[in-house]
Amino acid sequence: KILLKMNKKKILLVVVLIVSSLALAILSRLMKHPVNMAPMVGIALFSAAYLPKRWMGFALPLGCWIVSDIFVNFYKENATTHGINYFLTPTALGVYTSLFVIFLLGSLLKKGVRIPKLMGITLSSSLLFYFITNSFCFFNPGNIYGPGLGGYLKCLAAGIPFAQSEYGALFGSFFFNGI
């Protein structure tokens, strides 16, 4: 019904966006790449800002994340993520919760993308992803950091190397959002 209301150029644009986002998400996560250089935050923000319907803006990055997680967890890191069981972990719940929060932030771009606003939302998205995913890791039943505030701070500190890149912290998010 929605596709019937769109003209052929918009339909083609949406299809190209979906296919290219999926390909970029999967390939960028399967190929050897610098830490923190996946386009997932950029796809979520772009989709929220530009896709014509709100549900499309959420469905595209969610689909990209799920499909690329399936490829990564089955073909690349099966030994450490245990395949399909990854989706039942607090880590996965943290990743998908952060995706939802990033999508909500990206919705603020719907009224117009301005460089200062995009930079602030990009920085906020990256920091929220870091804090949300690491917080969920802390609540993992196999938590190796210990209980209480001390354990939580150790958990956050352990996540710092994953929030950086050889090119500098947050480089991946700013690079892909700039594209």
pLDDT at 146: 87
Residue 6 near residue 138, CB atoms below 8 Å = no
Nearest of 78, 89, 80, 70 to residue 137 by alpha carbon: 89
User: Residue 38's closest CA among 73, 83, 69, 79?
Assistant: 69
The predicted structure's pLDDT at residue 21: 79
Do residues 54 and 44 touch, judged by C-beta distance below 8 A? no
Pick the more confident residue, 3 or 126.
126
At residue 177, the pLDDT reads 58
152 pLDDT band, cuts 50/70/90, is very high
Q: Give the CB-side neighbour count of residue 124, counting CA atoms within 13 A.
A: 14
Q: Any idea which of 12-16, 35-39, 50-54 has the lowest mean pLDDT?
A: 35-39
Does the structure show a pLDDT above 90 at 173? no
Question: What is the pTM for the complete model shown?
Answer: 0.76
What is the CB-side half-sphere exposure of residue 39 using CA atoms within 13 A?
A: 22
Which distant-in-sequence residues (6+ apart) come within 8 Å of 10 by Cβ?
A: 52
DSSP 77: S
Instruction: Calculate the CA dihedral of residues 9, 14, 17, 23 and round it to 10 degrees.
Output: -120
For the chain, where are the alpha helices, taking DSSP H only? 2-5, 8-30, 40-50, 54-71, 78-81, 90-106, 115-138, 148-159, 171-178
pLDDT digits (tens, 9 = 90+) for 57-98: 899 889 888 888 888 777 776 666 677 788 888 888 998 999
